[in-house]
Amino acid sequence: MLMSVVEQEKTSFEKLRPNDSQRLISNSAEETENIGEVFAESLKSGDVVALFGELGSGKTTFIKGVCRGLEVSDDVTSPTFTLIHEYSGRLPVYHLDFYRLEDPREIWELGCEEYFYGEGVSLVEWANRIIVNLPKDRIEVHFRSRFQTGAKNTREILIKQR
């Protein structure tokens, strides 16, 4: 049942064009992972996915699903202190997390440009913290919790192609 809902969305992810967006509602962490997994099928070399949303809104959970979809077999955890984790799947995957970014100069030290304009797929948590350094050509995924009903496990996921 869960997968069939996600399967229905698949066609529309593939059809997303610049400025299109798609709004999904997830009612569990598992569902968010499944959405990420299906979304991953639309990703290609060089794509940058910018994730926005408060702590606990589901960004890392979604990325776990994306990595599963990209056939990553490594453990996927937030690179909170190291700022970046690299995985290999059907494409190289760069998982960046700017939650603990203290000094914007770290962005240059990390060499973000090489990731953003490289061969792999970049998945960027706390993208708002490095927004000026992000490529204009990117996919944005916005997460919101308790937006409507106050339900603890409900998340709104808005995917925008720019």
Q: Which residues bind ligand ADP (CB under 6 A)?
A: 26-29, 31-32, 53, 55-61, 125, 153, 155
Binding of Mg ion by 59 (CB under 5 A): yes
What tokens were used for 25?
Answer: 């509602």
Show the site string, 19-58: x = touches Mg ion by CB under 5 A, - = not. ----------------------------------------
What tokens were used for 98?
Answer: 């700017």
Q: Of these partners, Mg ion, ligand ADP, none, which one is at the site of residue 32 (CB under 5 to 8 Å by kind)?
A: ligand ADP
Report yes or no: 6 and 38 within 8 Å, Cβ to Cβ.
yes
In terms of C-beta density within 10 A (0-12 exposed, 13-18 middle, 19 or more buried), how is residue 19 classed? exposed
CA dist., res. 118 & res. 96, Å (int)? 14
Selected from 22, 42, 78, 133, the binder of Mg ion by CB under 5 A is 78
Interacting residues with Mg ion (CB under 5 A): 59-60, 78, 125
